[in-house]
Structure 1
């Protein structure tokens, strides 16, 4: 029986390399994978799943017009992988549920749990609510050796604690941090303003 998996982690935890690794493993066995990514993330070009270590693969762009159920029904993949799943909306997560439950195709969605202010993204919130299995991809804090659980937005190396929820960026814009280091830097920033 197929399941819906949500694998989340902070920025720089290796989510995209994991997506590429899983896709490679399926394809190496002669199995078919549908790889989806959000239209929102254009860091490496729209429709690209790319890792910071240089690996990349073309993906199907998820936007409001894409019918993932129809595509899955027509393509009959062995597995569906979704990168940047935090950017999905509830309706799109509903499509993933239907793919798992009605078409019996496993779906593994990868993404951030929360934004730079610690607020859940719509897609992550929906996936946490309905996924059969929720797994954390771990990494360490930028400033200490504790487990990173937060994404801290930075501008010119300084922490930023205001702005729009979505700002596409990589190492130049975000660092993974533990809750304690996040709180300490937030306190310093508020004291300085």
Structure 2
């Protein structure tokens, strides 16, 4: 029986390289995998999953045609990058793929934004996923486990602004709770 997996982690935790590794493993065994990603993150071009280690792969854009595309292609597995940006309706379609077509779906994404607030897609994945797993990394400043995606502007942590502002290490760093709270307190006192 297929399952819906949600694998979350902070930025720079290796989610994209995991996606590329999964696809490679399936294909080495002669199995078919479909990769989907959000149209919101276009830093490396639309429809691409790109790892920080420099490996890149084409992907379909995740939209309301996902169920039909998977039904037509009949892959052995579906993998989704940037699941946090998906709407509740798209996450429901991914669950329908699992339940109706008996195809496993593995979704990777962030749990929370730079303010520690949950994304719509992440919230729905927590509600529906059969299995939830954390992809771990360490804090940029210390040796603790990172839990927060901290946004920086001109070298200073910022805690206001739009929920979505696409970027990489030039804009976000993974921090543990203690370092995040220290940065937040420092930002509040400098206002």
Which residue number corresponds to residue 68 of structure 2? 70
Shift of 1:187: 0.3
TM-score normalised by L of structure 2? 0.99
Distance in 2 separating the partners of 1:166 and 1:22: 27
Matched, 1:47 2:47: yes
Distance 2:88 2:29 in 1: 33
Question: Normalized against structure 1, the TM-score is what?
Answer: 0.98
Q: Which runs of 4+ in 1 moved over 4 A?
A: none
2:106 alignment partner in structure 1: 108
In structure 2, how many angstroms separate the alpha carbons of the residues matched to 1:149 and 1:7?
Answer: 14
Partner residue in 1 for 2:88: 90
Q: Name the Cα RMSD after superposition.
A: 0.6
Q: Which residue of 1 aligns with 2:35?
A: 35
Q: 1 CA distance for matches of 2:54 and 2:79?
A: 19
- In structure 2, C-alpha distance between the alignment counterparts of 1:136 and 1:96, rounded to whole Å: 19
Deviation (angstroms), 1:21? 0.4
Could you say which residue in structure 2 is the equivalent of 1:150? 148
Alpha-carbon displacement from aligned partner over 1:60-116 (angstroms, at most 9, x marks no partner): 0123xx311111111000000000000000000010011000000000000000000
Q: State the Cα deviation string for residues 103-131 of structure 1 (Å, max 9, x = none).
A: 00000000000000000000000001110
SS of residue matched to 1:151: strand
Counterparts of 2:70 and 2:51 in 1: how far apart (Å)? 25
SS of the equivalent of 1:94 reads helix
Question: Please, which runs of 5 or more residues in structure 2 have no aligned partner?
Answer: none
1:166 is displaced (CA, Å) by 0.2
* Aligned pair partner of 1:118 in 116, 129, 151: 116
